Amino acid sequence: MASTVEQDLTEKLETSSLEAAKHEISIGKEAADMIKAQANEAFKNGDYEKATELYSKAIEIHPDAILYSNRSFAYLRREWYGYALIDAKKALEYDSRYIKAFYRRASSYMALGKYTLALSDYEYVTKACPNDKDATMKYEECKKVVTRIRFEKAIAVDESSKSVANQIELNTMIVEKEYDGPHLDVDGLVTKEFMYAVLPYFESQKKLHKKYAYQIILQILTLLKSLPTLIDITVPKKHKFTICGDVHGQFYDLLNIFALNGPPSEDNPYLFNGDFVDRGSFSVECILTLFGFKLLYPNHFFLARGNHESLTMNQMYGFEGEVKAKYTAQMFQLFTEVFNYLPLSHCINNKILVMHGGLFSKDDVTLKDIRAVDRVKQPPEEGLMSEILWSDPQPQAGRSESKRGVGLQFGPDVTERFLKLNNLEYVVRSHEVKQEGYELAHNGKCITVFSAPNYCDTMGNKGAYITITGDDIRPKFTSYTAVPHPAVRPMMYANQLSMFGLM
Residues in touch with another protein (CB under 8 A): 143-144, 147, 150-151, 154-155, 279, 312-313, 315-317, 390, 402-406, 433, 455-456, 458-459, 489, 491, 494-495, 497-503
Q: How far apart are CA 273 and CA 250, in angstroms?
A: 15
CA distance 391 to 407: 5
How far apart (Å, rounded) are the C-alpha atoms in residues 194 and 182?
Answer: 6
Nearest approach in angstroms of CB 273 to another protein is 17
d(CA 273, CA 231): 12
The Cα–Cα gap between 39 and 49 comes to: 10
Nearer to another protein, 155 or 174 (CB): 155
- Among the listed residues 292, 284, 290, 317, the one whose alpha carbon sits nearest the alpha carbon of residue 304: 290
Closer residue to another protein in complex, CB, 87/275: 275
The two beta strands, 426-429 and 446-449, are parallel
C-beta closer to another protein: residue 81 or 122: 122
Residues 318, 223, 334, 386: is their CA dihedral positive or negative? negative
Tell me which of 62, 248, 308, 431 is the catalytic residue: 308
The sign of the torsion formed by the CA atoms of 122, 128, 134, 136 equals positive
Q: How far is the CB of 140 from another protein (least distance, A)?
A: 10
Residue among 366 and 498 whose Cβ is closer to another protein? 498
What is the rounded CA–CA span in Å between residue 144 and residue 138? 10
Give CA separation, 35 vs 25, 32, 396, in Å.
15, 5, 54
Cβ nearer to another protein, comparing 15 with 458:
458
DSSP tag of 240: E
Q: How far is the CB of 297 from another protein (least distance, A)?
A: 31
427 close to 358: Cβ distance less than 8 angstroms: yes
Nearer of residues 299 and 498 to another protein, judged by Cβ: 498
Nearer to another protein, 376 or 499 (CB): 499
Residues in CB range of 64: below 8 A, 6 or more apart: 1, 5, 32, 94, 95
Tell me how far, at minimum, the Cβ of 23 lies from another protein, in Å. Answer: 55
Is there a contact between 128 and 99 (Cβ–Cβ < 8 Å)?
A: yes
Nearer to another protein, 200 or 486 (CB): 486
Closest approach, Cβ 345 to another protein, in A, equals 21
The phi, psi pair for 207, rounded to 5°, reads -105, 125
Q: How far is the CB of 390 from another protein (least distance, A)?
A: 8
Collapsed DSSP state (helix, strand, coil) of residue 194: helix
- Provide, rounded to whole angstroms, the least separation between the CB of residue 149 and another protein: 12
Nearest to 344 by CA among 289, 305, 307: 305
Report the nearest approach of another protein to the CB of residue 223 (Å).
Answer: 29
239 is catalytic: no
What are the angstrom distances between the C-alpha of 383 and each of 275, 369, 370, 373, 441? 20, 11, 11, 9, 24
Q: Which residues are catalytic?
A: 308
